[in-house]
Structure 1
Amino acid sequence: MFLLAYRSARHNSTSTTPARAVFGADIRLPPDLKFGITPLCGKMTCDYTGSKRDQLDEIHRFIRRRLLLTSDKMKARYDLRMNSEGFQEGDLVWFHNPQRKKGLSPKLQTYWQGPYRVITKINDVVYRIQESGHPRARMKVVHLERLAPYCNDVVVPVRDEQI
């Protein structure tokens, strides 16, 4: 029953049902059988397979267009929350280090360490950082998603997942 419901439900990203995408028509559900369905628009044609192939091709083109629109919308929403500008050399940042400390409850642990200073920007998303105030501290190479701007001992997350 679950799979029947899934295959006959219209999806937001494709604006069509999985059954229509695969078979070219929606599934006939029990209410359709009990109360009847609307008659087909056209009669059966001699070239059933050709018309069905054309119909499936049109459905697949429609789905591809919808998926492109949906993925563009999701990318735009993701980019709003991302720190696309990054950091400059010398900026102070928080470093997200999700290692658990033995003997301390995970709920009471803080996973943000810092401040760290950005030493070099290796590329758009990879940075070399070093703990600020410790010139002999070991340098770390980290991804942009593990960094957050440092300002007055308050963590300002770069992404929603880091809140």
Structure 2
Amino acid sequence: MKLMLKRLCAERPRDWDKYLGPALFAYREVPQESVLFSPFELVYGWPVRGPMTILKELWTREITDPEVRSTYEYVINLRERLESTCELVKQNLEKASRKQSRIYNRKSRSRKIKVGQKVLVLLPTKANKLLMHWKGPFSIVEKISDLDYRIDMRGKLKMFHVNMLKLYVEREQTNVCVSAPDHKVGFVATVSVIDLENEDTDDVDNYESELIETPVAVAKETLRDVHINEALKANETVKVQCLLDKFSHVLTDIPGRTNVLQHDIKLTSDDPVRFKPYPIPYAMLDTVNKEVDKMIEMDIIERSDSPYSSPFVIVKKKDQSNRFCIDFRGLNSITIFDAETMGNIEEMFSKLSGYQFISKIDLTKGYWQISLVDAAKPKTAFPNT
């Protein structure tokens, strides 16, 4: 019955109560698995002619003629039919009970709860009576039998079956005191810091896709990091080194700037996007100021009085170093999506058949190498400390 009500509420959420009558009729018409008779037949002595029975009679033309009997004969036959039905129901219930008990005992185990122990009780929720969850803990007051216990539920004594109970185990209270006289005492502050090592991987990937990392100002990678194949001849190695020296200005992790194109940000609304800055601890203000000064020196950003404002955060990487990032999720939510499709990499590789050499170029922070048009610059503003 509960499964029927759940299905009814899911399929007809607005008017499920109007279908309770037909649902009850269908439930009482179907034979029960244990007794092999329908509730209608057990009460009235004959199977009810429901919609499916009438449809079957119309299709098969198995319509029996009504019998002409006296009232006395009808009552006697009905009584005999009910008695024989009850006898069959009793036998079927005994068989079904033995079968169900055998199946249940395969995985069941004996559980004993002592008086005074605390338990959780499986009860329906207040919002949904068909949804059960564990509530408690409550104390065991009395053991009525091996399967039934009386529980004190905030002053009211109620009896529950053992299957509705689960032993509640309290956590051990441990007091750990660590003394470190040789260490300096720091301070505690509310920090808007993201720890990538402890965050859930999927959430971090989704969150980081909206964060814009600032570029590096000091080169950590140069042409000296290029690996030259040792199988090359001496003159070939010299040619490769000369080629690397010629383009040494691009073989670095410091982003350059292209003059081929500029990027424009088109929005669905002209209302400026403003978000309150995230709280930054005093100890990290120097890090933030250094990052801002570095980007101004590299001519990546400029001071602005824009009405837009996207907050920035400090992301703590796995090596415990800090990373200054800008959270553009608010701006991205009103940005017009560019529907141009990206190329299929399999199709690109199929066009390279027959070529002897395939080169792969990894651009350093291409986001910072493309400048913005003048109209789009105010939209990327962030607050300074």
The TM-score by the shorter chain falls in which range?
0.3 to 0.5
TM-score by length of 2: 0.22
Larger Rg: 2
More strand by share: 1
